A = this chain, B = another copy of it.
Amino acid sequence: MNRNVTMQDIADRLGVSKVTVSKALNNKEGVGEELRLKIKKTAEEMGYRYNSCAKSVKYGLTYNIGVISPEKFTGTNSFYISFYKMISKELDRRGYSAILHTLSHEEEASLRLPRLYYECKADGLIILGQVGTRYAELLGSIDIPVVFLDFYDKHSEIDSVISDNFHAAYELTNYLIENGHREIAYIGNINATSSIQDRYLGYLKSLLENRITPNPDYVISDRLDDGTLTDIVLPERMPTAFVCNCDMVAYKIVNKLKQSGWRIPEDVSVVGFDDDIYATLTIPNLTTVQVNVAEMTSLAVNMIINKIRSNKSYGRIPVRGRIIIRDSVRTINRNQEAME
């Protein structure tokens, strides 16, 4: 193994001290302009690479952020890849690196923190995707800053960046009602994640505001509490529209309805959530909510970096999404409906 070139090597070559080399390479004052240029040129020639570990050990800062994602999410939720991409780019832009850790079921269950924490490899953690309450509490107790991204835990005070699920679902349901729908079902296990629950509550608020009595048969589960997807059982009496907790489930339900002979959107309207790959894979393309990944990422990165510096608190920050109108909703003519 050939040892890396160090500042000392450059100093020796040039007959100066490593202090001067350090100043020159870091553009600090205290070096003659001519010497600085010569040092930089020599560094380049010798293939010098800055050793960030040395700085880390001195200041206790690694300029790494751990990005922890529970296994179950990275598995099903393919749209997390755009979060990964955005996070790594945004951190890079800020002079940080992203260390990826996939949290196994086993680690989560046994409340074991990732190795990168025990080895001081990161200055803070971004948790991408929901972890259980016990694990969230554990994360709240550790001595580096933590930010939750795309979920929050009701029992913990950890700063979170979430998409404004409540508001988006409220608007989406309003949109259905404006289009004449009154029999509207919600698909999602409201105990599985905070997102699914909040989306349900937004849906519910819209119903209540519009004086539509919620029908218990119209809240339909799609998965177990632990997130395992299950078969969806259609209600006996068909609603005119389904609000689905995500595009993937919307995709499933559209196909299920089609197989039973229902036409979308002529007979039944369906809306989704996330605007992920499933939204445009579904035929007809789904009217859905586009999550503002860029904005959420940029906020989360900003928060974690500021917290490292000042340990400031932010609370839950909801980020507004955007409704994308496509072809899966039909406008119901009320009169016509009444005539049937």
Contact = CB atoms under 8 A, between A and B. Distances in A.
Interface of A: 1-4, 47, 49-54, 56-57, 60, 62, 64, 67, 71, 74-75, 78, 80-82, 84-85, 88-89, 92, 95, 97-102, 104, 114-121, 143, 277, 281, 311
Given A99-B97, A117-B49, A84 B74 contact: yes
A259 to B, nearest CB: 10
A60 B75 CA distance: 35
5 contacts: A1-B311, A50-B120, A78-B277, A97-B116, A99-B100
B60 A88 contact: no
Given A4-B120, A49-B120, 5 more contacts: A50-B120, A53-B57, A84-B102, A88-B101, A98-B99
A119 B57 CA distance: 14
A80 B100 CA distance: 14
Contact of A57 (B51, B88, B117): B51
A143 B98 contact: no
A99 B102 contact: no
A277 B281 CA distance: 11
A102 B88 contact: yes
Contacts of A1: 311
Given A57-B57, A81-B81, A119 B50 contact: yes
A294 to B, nearest CB: 13
Given A47-B143, A49-B120, A89 B62 contact: no
A88 B119 CA distance: 16
A119 B49 contact: yes
B121 A102 contact: no
A117 to B, nearest CB: 7
A187 to B, nearest CB: 19
The list of the 6 closest CB pairs from A to B, nearest first, reads: A52-B119, A53-B56, A53-B57, A81-B81, A78-B78, A88-B100
Nearest to A115: B92
Contacts of A89: 102, 104
